[in-house]
Amino acid sequence: TNADELHDALMLLGVMTPEEIQRTSDAGNAEQLTSALMAQSRATRLLVAPRHLNDCDVLEHGAAAPVSNNGELPETSQGGSALQNTAATRTFWICAERLPMIGATYPNAHVEPTLIVPDSVRGKTWERADGIREVVRGRMEVCGPMTVAELSHILVLPGSEIDAALLALENEGCVLRGKFRPGATEQEWCDRRLLARIHRLTIDRLRAEIQPVSQQDFFRFLFAWQRVDQAHRVEGLEGLQSVLEQLDGCELPLAAWESAVLAGRVADYDPEWLNRLCFSGRIGWGRLSPPQNPSTRTSAPLRTSPIGLYQRENLQHWLILTRATSETELSVAARTLFDTLATGGALFFSELVRRSGLLPSQVEEALSQLAALGLVTSDSFDGLRALLVPSNKRPTFGRNIGKRRRKTNLASIEFAGRWSLLRTDLVLQPSTNGAETSARDAAREQFARVFLRRYGVVFRRLLERESFPVTWYELGRIYRRWEARGEIRGGYFVGGISGEQFALPEAIGLLRAIRKTSSHDEVITLSAADPLNLQGVLTPGPRIAALTSNRILFSDGLPIAALEAGEIRKLAMANPSGGEFCDARVSDLQIETALKVGNLRPSLRPYYK
């Protein structure tokens, strides 16, 4: 620091204490710098008396020191002023260019030695409120978050006038109010640009603290995060609810949901739990994405159709994101049933048969087509299960309940509750309404939250597994805003993945724990329809088709083999030490057994065998 730089600081801050000058000077040369400025008549000392109850600066014995009419501060006498001899007197350093402003701000203060006001600022009149505002402005530009009490103590000014100055600066958009420091209890103020810089530096520091994990450890993290490994599997109805919250809006082939995904995350999974969640109004089902070929009357089999399970409070968000842009053609029976539901609302199966005039078998076939196209849903999941059973094995319509229960445990479409339309319009009507844009923005933000909760750590590649038409550009803007708020963390969490990455705070803790934990050689088999089928997304090599019958075998987080079209092939995985890696600890017999021998629960076999 040299004398010119110190003068610039005095121009910015207005007043500086000797301690502040000492901290900013190099090698303790503060006295030399101030002496040089004083010799050049560019700076002087300002002596300010303590404030009393009437917020007036007073001299010893109560005699007020007058200020001259031209705005210059009076000089102290050669023998020393009463201010100088008062123990509580505060000393500041000021520059010559700020004399008129300081004279208005501290009308009862003294300077020592006196200075002549430069011609460039001579004659300018300052109001006290304006002077205080500029002193506070200069202080806020360099000092970071501060309270009114702290500013009042440093500047020796009444808190009420400090508060008025801050409100004026807030009105200009220069400062922001809030609680910025950890443990803050009082309202704080901070310069807007300085706060943005603090946030940026904080974010950079937090990102620098992150140590990326290997892709193998990331797979181990995902198995724990999504409750796939044995140690983290959930139990009971509430456990199933937590799993479905993670998979909210995720679309999978219908046959994969219970047979592979839910049964692989919930210990001793009971299909009745899903029915109870649906009947309670917490969970719903339906195809959310529009069909790829809506102009054809034939639809994909219901068993392989993408069906999503969703939290009912998020249904409108998902429908807004996935509205069809072209009209879907329906068969005669399906069109009749659609019109019946459109006019009659939610109806039981027997009411659908009666009002539509169709045969029960025709209603079943029409419901299957409408469900595959994403147009209908029902109160429970039993309706979908019943439609998966071949028609020659379904319970006869109208059969006695007791008789049915004695002979079979198959779900019946009669007891699936009410059927209703998932979408009331077959085609999206273009709209330029501002409310429509606001609704889509809210839907994207909700998807960003669900997507982050699904994987814990997110980046661009993971978005390839999602069916919603949301871009990473849109998600990145949302995530960066949340990172600035401190709600999530950004950084480089997974090695070998390019681009921005974001994570939940609780996911970072689990990532660190997984990295420090030694491997347990756990072997995990997943259906290729599972959301964690990231072969070809995170790992090298071609992708494995997301079909329920295809399977992938993992050993300690590494994919080592896959079953596709009934054929087993081993997967080459990058070895951290170089070359390719294939786990030799898993024998060929173990691989074949894990991939080909199923463990489907008896209660699910009639539907997914």
Confidence of residue 426 (pLDDT cuts 50, 70, 90): low
Q: What is the pLDDT of residue 414?
A: 81
Confidence of residue 294 (pLDDT cuts 50, 70, 90): low
> Could you tell me what percent of the chain has a pLDDT over 70?
84
164 vs 302, which has greater pLDDT?
164
Task: Return the axis-axis angle of helices 192-208 and 128-143, rounded to nearest 10°.
Answer: 10
557 vs 57, which has greater pLDDT?
557
Residue-wise burial string across 129-143, b where 16 or more C-beta atoms lie within 10 A, e elsewhere: eebbbbbbbbbbbeb
Confidence of residue 51 (pLDDT cuts 50, 70, 90): low
Q: What is the pLDDT of residue 330?
A: 85
Residue 4, token pair as written in the block: 């010119």
Compute the Cα dihedral for 183, 189, 191, 196 and give only its sign: positive
Q: What is the pLDDT of residue 2?
A: 87
Confidence of residue 165 (pLDDT cuts 50, 70, 90): very high
* Residue 289 near residue 250, CB atoms below 8 Å: no
Q: How many CA atoms lie within 13 A of 176 on its CB side?
A: 10
Poorest-pLDDT segment among 10-24, 186-200, 427-441: 427-441
| Single-letter code of the amino acid located at 223 | F
Mean of pLDDT over the chain: 84
Q: What is the pLDDT of residue 61?
A: 30
Mean pLDDT calculated for residue range 120-148: 91
Confidence of residue 580 (pLDDT cuts 50, 70, 90): very low
* Residue 118 near residue 96, CB atoms below 8 Å: yes
Tens of pLDDT, residue by residue over 505-543, are 999 999 989 988 877 778 999 999 999 999 888 887 888
Q: What is the pLDDT of residue 418?
A: 93
Q: How far apart are CA 384 and CA 395, in angstroms?
A: 14
58 vs 175, which has greater pLDDT?
175
Confidence of residue 172 (pLDDT cuts 50, 70, 90): very high
Confidence of residue 177 (pLDDT cuts 50, 70, 90): very high
7 vs 59, which has greater pLDDT?
7
Q: What is the pLDDT of residue 68?
A: 44
Residue 541, token pair as written in the block: 């090599």
Q: Is the confidence at residue 62, as pLDDT, over 60?
A: no
* Residue 372 near residue 299, CB atoms below 8 Å: yes
The answer, as to whether pTM is greater than 0.85, is no
Q: Is the confidence at residue 287, as pLDDT, over 90?
A: yes
Where are any strands of DSSP class E within 155-199? 175-178, 188-191
144: left (phi over 0), alpha (psi -120 to 50) or beta: left
If one counts every other C-beta atom within 10 angstroms of the C-beta of residue 274, the result is: 26
Q: What is the pLDDT of residue 393?
A: 67
Poorest-pLDDT segment among 198-202, 494-498, 597-601: 597-601
Q: Which domains are delineated in the chain?
A: 3-199 (1.10.10.10), 215-421 (no CATH), 521-608 (no CATH)
Q: How far apart are CA 16 and CA 7, in angstroms?
A: 11
Tens of pLDDT, residue by residue over 449-470, are 999 999 999 999 999 889 899 9
* Residue 414 near residue 397, CB atoms below 8 Å: yes
Q: What is the pLDDT of residue 295?
A: 55
Q: Is the confidence at residue 577, as pLDDT, over 90?
A: no
Q: What is the pLDDT of residue 114?
A: 86
Q: Is the confidence at residue 79, as pLDDT, over 50?
A: no
Q: What is the pLDDT of residue 329?
A: 80
266 vs 210, which has greater pLDDT?
266
Q: Is the confidence at residue 412, as pLDDT, over 50?
A: yes
Q: Is the confidence at residue 71, as pLDDT, over 80?
A: no
Q: Is the confidence at residue 67, as pLDDT, over 70?
A: no
Mean pLDDT calculated for residue range 394-405: 51
Q: What is the pLDDT of residue 578?
A: 43
Mean pLDDT calculated for residue range 23-33: 81
Tens of pLDDT, residue by residue over 305-356, are 999 999 999 999 999 998 765 667 888 999 999 999 999 999 999 999 999 9
Strands 306-311, 251-253: pairing kind: antiparallel
Confidence of residue 254 (pLDDT cuts 50, 70, 90): very high
Mean pLDDT calculated for residue range 490-502: 90
Q: Is the confidence at residue 298, as pLDDT, over 80?
A: no
* Residue 48 near residue 55, CB atoms below 8 Å: no
